[in-house]
Amino acid sequence: MIWFIQWKTSAVLDYPNSRSLHTDPVPRIGGIGLLFGAISAWLTFSVSLPVSVWLSIGVLAGISIVDDICNVPAGYRLCVHMLVALGCSVVLLFDLHGWLLIIGVTLVMVWMSNLFNFMDGSDGLAGGMVFIGFGFYGLMAYLSGDINFAVANLSVAAAAFGFLLHNFHPARIFLGDVGAVPLGYLAAVMGLLGWLNELWSLWVPILIFSPFIVDATVTLIKRLARGEKIWRAHREHYYQRMVQSGLGHKNTALIGYGLMLMAGASAVWVNGQAMITQWVVAVIWGVIYLGLMLMADLGKKPYAGER
């Protein structure tokens, strides 16, 4: 019995590895509490969402908690992610749009699910992105008069705030795959539903979550270009390099929050503007991100600072 208890305890701890920025084991199933809080609020306020969304979250949370405990091979997990995203895309888009859009949205959902997992490596960062990102979703839905959709998104933001109280540096609990994967997927599917409900342009969710999208996507492309095995753990994301440069977890999170707030606020402001204005804002943000990445790449190499 003692051996079983020890095994169950160790199974839910995140031990430091080659990708980690922490030095001590930390529980990695905080995502269960976050999802439970959000879904409880949905049920309490009778939030109306497509059945496919509910089922998708359940399947992704299920495979992810198994992975948190037993380390499911990446290929199996990716297959589940693909099937879930494809099923949801077909249900939501088949009657209105062609297969090209369905395939594109499926790939975006899969990428968002995984990039959130990649970006969940520093205290408070991913939780802050969930709080701010879904907060802006909720604000935009409220301003558009869709109270049901506003409550759906603000429930996730509120649950994320509660999680942040325990995840901000020094973190006492991590999201784990069970939190990061479903939340990344939810960021994509809520963005899609907002577009289908004509609450915002299709690019608005991309801008709101751009701090994560840009970091994860550019890092992946750079690793592919160098011929590296992208599924292996690493510490090459820009946020990881910021932590190692001496900024530490706290300052990296605060800088990230500032960037998230500016990106989200600009998305809210520009959503109702003329198309030319939207393109100008998109170009400006492209220049901002390019400048930030060039500063990081041309700067000094990071050293092992605060973990």
Where helices occur in the chain by DSSP H, the ranges are 2-11, 30-44, 51-70, 74-93, 99-119, 125-143, 147-167, 177-196, 204-208, 210-225, 238-242, 248-270, 275-298
Residues 40, 152 contacting (CB under 8 angstroms): no
Strands 13-14 vs 26-27: parallel, antiparallel or unpaired: antiparallel
Residues 233, 17 contacting (CB under 8 angstroms): yes
Cβ burial of 101 (10 Å; 0-12, 13-18, 19+) is middle
Q: Which one-letter DSSP state was computed for residue 23?
A: S
Instruction: Write out residues in the chain with pLDDT < 50, as ranges.
Output: 1-11, 22, 302-307
What does the chain come to in residues? 307
Question: Hey, CA dihedral for 110, 216, 149, 103, is it positive or negative?
Answer: negative
Half-sphere exposure (Cβ direction) of 107: Cα atoms closer than 13 Å = 6
Residues 185, 84 contacting (CB under 8 angstroms): yes
Q: Which one-letter DSSP state was computed for residue 24?
A: S
- Both structure tokens of 37: 């809080």
Predicted local distance difference test score (pLDDT) of residue 50: 95
- Which residue, chain included where needed, has tokens 């996730």? 156
Predicted local distance difference test score (pLDDT) of residue 10: 44
Residues 141, 190 contacting (CB under 8 angstroms): no
Predicted local distance difference test score (pLDDT) of residue 106: 96
Whole-prediction pTM value?
A: 0.89
Residues 57, 87 contacting (CB under 8 angstroms): no
Predicted local distance difference test score (pLDDT) of residue 231: 67
